[in-house]
Amino acid sequence: MMKFQVLQERFGYSSFRNGQEAIIDAVLKQQDVLAMLPTGTGKSLCYQLPGYLIKGTVLIISPLISLMQDQVEQLALIGERKAIALNSFLNSRARAKALQNLNQYRFIYISPEMLRMEGMIDRLKNVSISLFVIDEAHCISQWGHDFRPDYLSLGEIRECLGAPPALALTATAQKEVRDDIKHYLKLKNPNEFIYSVDRPNIAIMIERVQTANEKKQRLLELVRQLKKPGIIYFSSKRVAEEMVEHLKLNGVKAVAAYHGGMDQEQRILIQQQFLNDQLNVICATSAFGMGVNKNNIRFVIHFHMPGQVESYLQEIGRAGRDGQESVAILMYSPGDEELPLRLSEYELPEKWQIDAYFNTCQLKNETDLVAELRLSETQLRFLKHYYLLNSQDIEQQINKVKTIRMKRLNYKVNKVWQMYRWIQSTDCRRKQIITIFGENDYSKPADCCDICTFDLSNYYEELTHIENLSSNSWVKRLQQLLKQEVNPL
C-alpha cells in the first residue's frame, strides 16, 4: 500500500499538512527523526500512518495517561482495535491478558515509568518493535532531570529493545533541549525537521501593574472585555481557585478551575465542558493543556510568569489553532520572578539532605528517612535515582550528586532570568522569541505585540462596550440610534 492510499482510506484526509509528509518519508526509510512541529499540526499522524506500512509494532512513549487513552480512542474511531494503553488504568486481569498478547498489537502506548517496571523489557523483547516514538519529547529535558527521572533511561531501553528507529515529536524545544533529546535517546545522526515556533495570529502583550491587588482588578476587566473562550494560567492552585470565586462574584459566568490537586474525574469533567463550550474561562495551573485540542481559544492570560520561555510558548500556543486572531497577555508586577525562582529550588534536595540521605539510607527505612529529612516525593526520587546510578565511595557520590544538583539549579534559574529579560526588554517580543529559538526570519503581523503596533480592543467582545454603560445611558443611546433611523424618513 502507498502512503496516500492509507492517508485517504484509513485516516480520511486528501492531503498531508505542512511537514507531515517529509517526516513520514524519513520514518519509512528507518531513519532516526527529531521533529519540532507547531501545536495542532497533526503530529500523531507521523507515526500512526507508518504503523500501517511497516511490519511490527509501534511503541509510543507518552507522558500522560489521559493522552494515551485519548489516542487509543481516536484510533478506535477509525476502526483500529489493535491499540492499547499500558498503564495503571488497566486492572490486573486486563493487564495480564495484554502482556500475554503484546505482539498482536499494532500500537502500544506506555509511560516511561511503566517501561522500567520489572519484567516489562523482557516482555517487550518478544515483540518486534519497528518504531520507537516519543510523544512530547521535550519532557525528556524538562522533566527527566528531576521530576520524572525515568525519562532519562529511554535511550538505554531503546538499545535493550534492539535499537529500533526513533521518532521524537515536540512542539517547542530550544537548541539545548533538542540536544538533550538527542543525547538521552541516543539518536544517531537524526534527521531533524524543525519548523518555526512563530504563530502570527497570536498577538503578544505584557500588562504591567504595581501590586497584586491591581493585577486582580485588571484581570477582571480583561476577562469581562475579551472575546472568549480563554485560559488563565497561575503558578498556584490556591490562587487559581480564589480567582474563580472572585470572577464568579463579579458576574463572570461559565468559569472553573483546573489543577493537579483535583480528582481525576473532576479534571476530565472540566476539560470536557470546556471543549464543549459549556465553560468559557479556565483558571488553571500548568497541569492544563497537553491534549486539549480546542481550536477556538481566543485568549491566554498569564497571571503569574512561567519559569521558562518554552512553557510560555507552549501555553500561549493553545490559542488560535483555527487561525483566527487571538491574544496572549502576560501580567507582570515587580517581584513576580521570585515565585518561579523559589519553585526551581524546592523541587531539588538541599545539600544537607543529600549528605544525610547518602550517609544513612542503608541504615534506616525509607519512611523514617522521608519524615526525618522532610523529603518531598520528587526530592526522594531524585536521590534514589542517583544513589542507584553510582557505585563509587560515599564521599565521591555525594560530591557528584551535589554537582548535578548545582548544574540543574543553575540551568533552571537561568531559564527564569531568560524569561525575565524577555519581559523587561523593549525589543519586539515576537522577534526575541524567534531569536531565542535560533530562528532569523519572521513576518510581522498587523497586530504584533505591545512594543510594536497593537490594539487590544480588536480582541474585545462586540457587545462589551454597551454592557459597560449604565442602564440609563444605554436607554439614551438607544433613543439616539432610533432617532437617527427615523429622521431621514
Partner DNA sequence: CGAGGCGGGACTAGTCCCGCCTCGGTGCTCTAGT
Binding site for DNA (CB under 7 A): 63-66, 86-89, 110-111, 113-114, 117, 142-143, 146-148, 211-212, 235-239, 242, 259-261, 285-287, 307, 334-335, 338-339, 342-344, 346-347, 377-378, 381
* Burial group, residue 284, by CB count within 10 angstroms (0-12, 13-18, 19+): buried
- Whole-angstrom Cα Rg for the chain: 25
Q: Which residue, 3 or 408, is less far from DNA as judged by CB? A: 408
248: its cell numbers:
464568579
Residue type, 324: Q
Residue 235 beta carbon to DNA: minimum distance, rounded to whole angstroms: 5
Number of residues that make up the chain:
489
Backbone dihedral region for residue 393 (phi beyond 0: left; psi -120 to 50: alpha; all else: beta): beta
Q: Which residue, 251 or 335, is less far from DNA as judged by CB? A: 335
Residue 234 beta carbon to DNA: minimum distance, rounded to whole angstroms: 7
- For residue 299, what are the CA distances in angstroms to 170, 242, 248, 315, 316? 22, 20, 19, 11, 8
Q: Give the CA angle between residues 41, 316, 452 to the nearest 5°.
A: 110
Residue 271 beta carbon to DNA: minimum distance, rounded to whole angstroms: 11
**Are the beta carbons of 254 and 325 closer than 8 angstroms?**
no
Residue 442 beta carbon to DNA: minimum distance, rounded to whole angstroms: 28
The answer to whether the bond into 229 is cis (omega within 30° of 0) is: yes
Q: Which residue, 405 or 430, is less far from DNA as judged by CB? A: 405
Q: Which residue, 26 or 369, is less far from DNA as judged by CB? A: 369
**Are the beta carbons of 129 and 164 closer than 8 angstroms?**
yes
Residue 324 beta carbon to DNA: minimum distance, rounded to whole angstroms: 28
176: its cell numbers:
539545548
Q: Which residue, 11 or 346, is less far from DNA as judged by CB? A: 346
Residues 6+ apart with CB under 8 A from 365: none
Q: Which residue, 79 or 119, is less far from DNA as judged by CB? A: 119
From 434, 414, 416, 345, select the one nearest 382 (Cα to Cα). Answer: 345
Residue 419 beta carbon to DNA: minimum distance, rounded to whole angstroms: 12
Residue 65 beta carbon to DNA: minimum distance, rounded to whole angstroms: 4
Q: Which residue, 68 or 255, is less far from DNA as judged by CB? A: 68
Q: Which residue, 92 or 126, is less far from DNA as judged by CB? A: 92
Residue 148 beta carbon to DNA: minimum distance, rounded to whole angstroms: 5
C-alpha–C-alpha distance, residues 121 and 161, integer Å: 7
C-alpha–C-alpha distance, residues 231 and 328, integer Å: 10
Cα atoms in the 13 Å half-sphere on the side-chain side of 27: 32
Residue 46 beta carbon to DNA: minimum distance, rounded to whole angstroms: 22
Q: Which residue, 211 or 359, is less far from DNA as judged by CB? A: 211
